[in-house]
């Protein structure tokens, strides 16, 4: 199968990429960790050996679907380097993944990326509600949420009450294209699936990374707190990518996956804001974005 990383891909295309990669490279295993609100499978790709684990997740937000392609290409490039016994971006992947196992969830919000790309079925019972929730009507260009109008990266149990207060100050009381965190933490099947995977891996998990866009920034703390090694890793990420080590503010400080992992497990966790521009980033930017993010992911995989 030809992999086209410079063209936006809906969820079914990305799933086909995952299956093709697993078919081509025996070192890649594939499993379904859960299902989206409308029943789409959420796939996890895994490779490597050993007791130490690392986790990368893409596409929390519909308009950030380019991060799903980053995840798939990362797995493909690592698998090819392992097969051919060559270095990747200056990293000895055979050595790294002889002692470490990498878990990659390319798309945690398959419904959201389909909504954003106009690939969500218009005959679906939820489609009229999506239009009513969206201030732009049928224009879903800037849609981030899942099919219930919940922003998945505000649906984790980390300062959820504070996040809710900030939502109300912003006039957000119900589902919409962005910012609404849901009725309670893990109310959405997508976040619940990722939390369950993280809980399962947590005894051996050394890092967790959520890929977002945009800004070329690295977030590493939760309300000023961060586990041992987090700042060192963030600075290493900055050196290999040129990205800026930063701290979020306002509503972005609460309810995120990174925040929950730090707060719940004391494991280094990061949000990487990939690329620069206005979401959704153009697919033609893929190569230059990936070139900077690849060494970040390999640096994380080398930890522990």
- Contacts of 47 by beta carbon, 8 Å cutoff, 6+ apart: 25, 27, 28, 29, 75, 78, 79, 82, 97, 101, 102
Q: Which two tokens stand for residue 195?
A: 């939390």
Task: Let me know: does 114 contact 190? Beta carbons within 8 Å.
Answer: no
d(CA 59, CA 55): 14
State the catalytic residues. 254, 273
**What is the DSSP pairing of strand 205-212 with strand 52-57?**
parallel
d(CA 178, CA 142): 9
Residue 278, CA atoms < 13 Å, CB-side half-sphere: 2
What distance lies between CA 110 and its chain's CA centroid?
Answer: 11
- Contacts of 161 by beta carbon, 8 Å cutoff, 6+ apart: none
Q: Which residues, listed in sequence order, are joined to residue 30 by a DSSP beta bridge?
A: 45
Task: Phi first, then psi: give them for residue 235, nearest 5 degrees.
Answer: -70, -35
Of 2, 101, 5, 6, the C-alpha closest to 45 is 101
d(CA 61, CA 76): 23
d(CA 91, CA 112): 34
d(CA 57, CA 107): 7
Task: Let me know: does 7 contact 59? Beta carbons within 8 Å.
Answer: no
């Amino acid at each position: 199968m030809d992999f086209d990383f410079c063209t936006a891909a809906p969820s079914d295309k990305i799933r086909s990429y995952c299956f093709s990669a697993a078919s081509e490279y025996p070192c890649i295993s594939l499993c379904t960790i859960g299902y989206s609100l409308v029943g789409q499978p959420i796939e996890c790709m895994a490779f490597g050996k050993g007791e130490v684990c690392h986790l990368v997740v893409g596409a929390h937000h519909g308009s950030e679907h380019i991060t799903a392609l980053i995840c798939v290409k990362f797995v493909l490039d690592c698998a090819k380097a392992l097969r051919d016994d060559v270095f990747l971006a200056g990293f000895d992947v055979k050595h790294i993944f002889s002692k470490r196992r990498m878990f990659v969830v390319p798309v945690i919000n398959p419904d959201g990326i389909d909504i954003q790309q106009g690939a969500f079925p218009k005959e679906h019972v939820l489609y009229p509600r999506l239009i009513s929730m969206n201030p732009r009507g049928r224009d879903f260009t800037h849609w981030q949420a899942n099919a219930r109008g919940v922003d998945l990266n505000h649906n984790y149990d980390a300062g959820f009450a504070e996040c809710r207060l900030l939502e109300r100050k912003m006039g957000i009381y119900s589902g919409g294209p962005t910012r609404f965190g849901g009725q309670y933490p893990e109310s959405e099947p997508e976040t619940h699936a990722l939390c369950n995977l993280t809980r399962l891996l947590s005894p051996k998990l050394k890092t967790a990374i959520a890929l977002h866009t945009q800004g070329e920034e690295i977030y590493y703390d939760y309300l000023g707190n961060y586990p041992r090694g987090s700042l060192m890793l963030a600075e290493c990420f900055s050196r290999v990518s040129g990205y800026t080590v930063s701290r979020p503010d306002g509503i972005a400080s609460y309810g995120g996956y990174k925040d929950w992992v730090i707060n719940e497990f004391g494991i280094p966790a990061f949000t990487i804001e990939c690329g620069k521009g206005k979401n959704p980033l153009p697919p033609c930017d893929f190569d230059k974005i990936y070139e900077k993010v690849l060494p970040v992911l390999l640096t994380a995989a080398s930890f522990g």
